[in-house]
Amino acid sequence: MDLQRTEIMVPLRMLLVLSLILSSSLCLNQNVPLTVVEKQSEIVLPAPHVTGDMSVEEALKKRRSVRDFQDTPLTLDQISQLLWAGQGITEGFKRSAPSAGATYPLTLYVVVGDPGVEGLGAGIYEYVPTSNVLRLIKEGDYRDRLAVACLTQLFIEDAPVSIVIVAKYEKTTARYGERGIRYVHMEAGHVGENIYLQAEGLALGTVAVGAFIDQDVQQVLSIPEELTPLYVMPVGYPR
């Protein structure tokens, strides 16, 4: 009797497993359009240039904070270059800016105006260094709200784009404890200076803005509390 029951149970179990496999593969098929939508919201950036017209010395000499911008949009090439200078992959998994223990706690967000970058809709984007893509967070021109979040520094509204340097402290403090906080701030300085110098090299201007209400910038970017904005860097052609 027991043997018979086992004999019936085995095919039943197999049927169950088969139906699970079938239903999960159907689910995968249902996910196909979603995947396409995800791909559409990822913009592959042009490959960065590793040579330029201006020497590091010249860029250092010319670098000045700019707070008066033309409304001319940037090109996709220019925004790609600026993001690469800040956090781009340069060798293996390593990036353009040094990072304590290669823990890489920083992420760059881009607030794109209307029009901010040729061929790119207004919106909030996250730069993904490993795949050199911009991931759309949300559509819309948020420059006015960003300027207000930065204590109404209105030049932020005029700049076609702003790059926001955001930290996830845990990535570095998990290894270095409290001292990791210091390391993260140092790293933001490196990234900021790289963006300053690259902007010079592209005949663009920027300014490192540290005066803002953290929670308000977080709201503009739609990022969670554990991500702390450290710098807002409006970029554009100097007027």
Ligand X SMILES: Cc1cc2nc3c(=O)[nH]c(=O)nc-3n(C[C@H](O)[C@H](O)[C@H](O)COP(=O)(O)O)c2cc1C
Our CB check for ligand X shows the closer of 63 and 175 to be 63
Our CB check for ligand X shows the closer of 80 and 206 to be 206
Neighbours of 60 (CB within 10 A): 13
Our CB check for ligand X shows the closer of 105 and 205 to be 205
Smallest distance, Å, CB 24 to ligand X? 51
Smallest distance, Å, CB 64 to ligand X? 4
Smallest distance, Å, CB 169 to ligand X? 17
Our CB check for ligand X shows the closer of 117 and 207 to be 207
Residues that bind ligand X (CB under 6 A): 64-65, 67, 153, 207-211
Smallest distance, Å, CB 27 to ligand X? 49
- The CB-nearest residue to ligand X is 210
